[in-house]
Structures are given as C-alpha cells and as structure tokens.
C-alpha cells in the first residue's frame, strides 16, 4: 500500500471579526496501491482539489493523517524532508498555462527538478531530451520556447515529461486534461498509463468528468461537498450506484449512444 489517507479534514476560517468556517474536506479516507489509477470525481466545491493539495503537502490538513510508504508524513515541514517527499510524490495541475512562469522559457520546469533527483552526475541535457521524446514531443520544437508559444496539449505533455525525469511513485493529477482539446486528451492520458506500466507509478486522477474517470480508473471515489459519497470499481459505481448524488450525476451526463428522456 503506497498511500493511505485517514480521516483527512480541512477547515478554512474566513473573516476577521466574525469568523466563518468553511469545511472544504470532511473525514476523507482512502488508499492507493502501487501502479493503480484512483479517481477522485466531483464537481467544483466538492473538495477534491483541496484534498489533492493536502496530499501534495501544499496545504496543511486541519486534522487526519497521511501515510506514505508506511511513514506518517502529515506533519512534514522540514525543507530536506519535503524535498525527499516531492521526489516521490509529484503534481500535475489543470491549467497548462498557469503551470509555467510566463516570463521564463519552458525548459525551466524541466531543469529545475534535477534538484530532486538523487543521481547528480547524469547528463542533464540528454535526459531532458529523452524525457521529451517519451512524451511525444520533438525537443527542437519545444526547448527554448516560451509558454505562450506552445499549445495547451504541448504544455501539459511537458508537465508529464517532468514526471518522467523525477519518476515519482505517485502522481496527483488535478484535472490534467480538462483544459486541453478533447481530440488530444487521450494522448496525455496514455502517457500517464505508460508511466504506470513502465514504472508502476500510481496516479490519483482528479476530475469532474465521470466518463473519463470511468474509462481510466482502477478505483473511483465520488466526492460531494467535501465527503466521499461513493467508492468502488468503475463498473460497480456506474452499474450499482448507491448514493443519490451518483445516481443524479449519472442521469444528467449527456450520453453519446442514448438520448435523454423527453428531449
């Protein structure tokens, strides 16, 4: 068992004098094994991104625990420990433009991770070029360019190339393809699958797209208002949903091979 999340909760307090509490994530627990795709499915406000950020140690949980490779990493805050953690757990975010510093060349997001890699004697240029080729990009077309000169699909592939450099055990991908054209999405998803097949990388795949989660996951968790309301294999969740929310989601998704009643 690679990652275990126990009763994770995050409460945000807003306001100066009259403090209001927002419970973004409430009592979320799940586990991820090696080489598995686990989806967190939910709409905006479901708490899925906050959960992702807690697992990536970008936000501190209010309560609950996170275990990675058997160790309690909930309270990790020393610089060296965090670096070690991020060499094994890394993130890919939704907006392929916002993931880059607009004033710097795209090479930077790749070269900056060499600080995380153990082997310091590796030929950096060669490794970067190989990683780019792995994700189907031509290094000549991509290196030296600025983010606005590349397409969304290319930028997201560079993010996956970054993961090829790090080879983390777990990737937390927050809506990795929702801002890319539908016709190029599968390409990026295939890359994540390749990482799983070649290096047993696990992926926590966060999305609002039930169809995508159904297609790609080994296990699906449906989140609503900060809580996990349904979990199971994709077939279990779609064929025998138990929660009202899942049933409603299912009924409201536009389908290709079936028409809605009354439409």
Partner 1 sequence: MVPKMIKELFTIKKLDLSLAIFIGALLVSLIGSMRYSDPLKMVGFPEQPPSREFPLGTDSWGRDLLALLLNGIKNSVYIGATAAAIAWIIGVAIGVISGLRDGLTDEVLMLITNIVLVLPSILIMMLIAAYLKERNTFFVSLVIGLTSWPWVARAVRSQVMSLKEREFIQMSKMAGLNETKIILEDILPNMASYLFMTFVLLMSGAMIAEAGLSMIGLGLTRGVSLGIILYWAQTLDSVRRGIWWWFIPPGLCLVLLTTSLLLLSTALDEYFNPRLKGG
Partner 2 sequence: MILLSAENVRAYYFLPQGVVKAVDGINLSLEKGITLGLAGESGCGKSTLVNTLLGSIKPPLRLVEGKILLDGKEISKMNISKLKKDVWGVEVSLVPQSALNALMPTKKVIDFIKDALVQHKKFSDSEILSLAKKRFEELNLDVKALYMFPHELSGGMRQRVVIAISTLLNPKLLIVDEPTSALDVSSQKQVLRTLLDLKKSGIIQSMIFVTHDIAVLRQIADKIGIMYAGKLVELSSTDNILYNPKHPYTVGLINAIVTPEPEVKRRKIMSIPGQPPNLLNPPSGCRFHTRCKFAMDICLHKEPPLLEVEGDTLVACHLFSSSKGG
Q: Summarize as ranges the residues that interact with partner 2 (CB under 8 A).
A: 43-44, 136, 151-154, 181-187, 190, 208-215, 238, 248-250, 252-260, 263
Of the pair 116, 238, the CB lying nearest partner 1 is at: 116
| Inter-residue long-range contacts of 8-12, CB under 8 Å, 24+ positions, other chains counted | 8/51, 8/54, 8/61, 8/63, 8/64, 8/65, 8/66, 9/61, 9/62, 9/63, 9/64, 10/47, 10/50, 10/51, 10/54, 10/59, 10/61, 10/62, 11/62
Q: For residues 56 and 213, which CB has a smaller minimum distance to partner 1 in the complex? A: 56
Query: Quick one: what does residue 102 bind among partner 2, partner 1, none, with the CB cut-off 5 to 8 Å set by partner type?
Result: partner 1
CB of 91 to partner 1, least distance (A): 6
**248, two tokens:** 């409603």
* Nearer CB in complex with partner 2: 2/228: 228
Closer residue to partner 2 (CB): 36 or 185:
185
17 binds, among partner 2, partner 1, none (CB under 5 to 8 A by kind): none
Q: How far is the CB of 162 from partner 2 (least distance, A)?
A: 19
Binding site for partner 1 (CB under 8 A): 56, 58, 79, 82-83, 86-87, 90-91, 93-95, 98-104, 109, 112-113, 115-116, 147-148
- What residue 103 binds from partner 1, partner 2, none (CB within 5 to 8 A, per partner kind)? partner 1
Q: Which does 70 bind (CB under 5 to 8 A by kind): partner 2, partner 1, none?
A: none
Taking the complex as a whole, the smallest distance from the CB of residue 171 to partner 1 amounts, in Å, to 11
Q: Which does 184 bind (CB under 5 to 8 A by kind): partner 2, partner 1, none?
A: partner 2
Q: How far is CA 60 from CA 19, 51, 56, 170, 242, in A?
A: 19, 10, 10, 19, 32
CA 44, 45, 48, 49 torsion: positive or negative? positive
Taking the least distance from each CB to partner 1, the nearer of 111 and 214 is 111
- Residue 76 binds which entry of partner 2, partner 1, none, CB below 5-8 Å type-dependent: none
For the bound state, the minimum distance from the C-beta of residue 232 to partner 1, rounded and expressed in Å, comes to 31
């Amino acid at each position: 068992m690679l990652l275990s999340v126990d009763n994770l909760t995050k409460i945000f307090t807003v306001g100066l004098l009259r403090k209001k509490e927002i419970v973004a994530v409430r009592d979320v627990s799940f586990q991820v094994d090696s080489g598995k795709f686990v989806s967190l499915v939910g709409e905006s406000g479901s708490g899925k991104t906050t959960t992702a950020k807690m697992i990536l140690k970008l936000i501190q949980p209010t309560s609950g625990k996170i275990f990675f490779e058997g160790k309690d990493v909930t309270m990790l805050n020393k610089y060296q420990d965090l670096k070690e953690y991020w060499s094994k757990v890394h993130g890919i975010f939704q907006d392929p433009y916002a993931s880059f510093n607009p004033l710097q060349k795209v090479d930077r997001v790749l070269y900056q991770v060499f600080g995380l890699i153990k082997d310091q004697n590796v030929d950096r240029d060669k490794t970067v070029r190989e990683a780019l080729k792995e994700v189907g990009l031509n290094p000549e077309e991509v290196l030296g360019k600025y983010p606005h000169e590349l397409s969304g699909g290319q930028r997201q592939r560079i993010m996956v190339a970054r993961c090829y450099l790090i080879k983390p055990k777990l990737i937390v991908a927050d809506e990795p393809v929702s801002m890319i054209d539908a016709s190029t999405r599968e390409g990026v998803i295939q890359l994540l699958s390749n990482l799983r097949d070649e290096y047993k990388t696990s992926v926590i795949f966060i999305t609002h797209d039930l169809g995508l989660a159904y297609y790609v996951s080994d296990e699906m968790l449906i989140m609503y208002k900060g809580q996990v309301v349904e979990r199971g294999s994709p077939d279990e969740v779609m064929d025998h949903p138990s929660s009202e929310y899942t049933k409603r989601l299912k009924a409201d998704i536009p389908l290709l091979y079936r028409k809605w009643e009354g439409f």
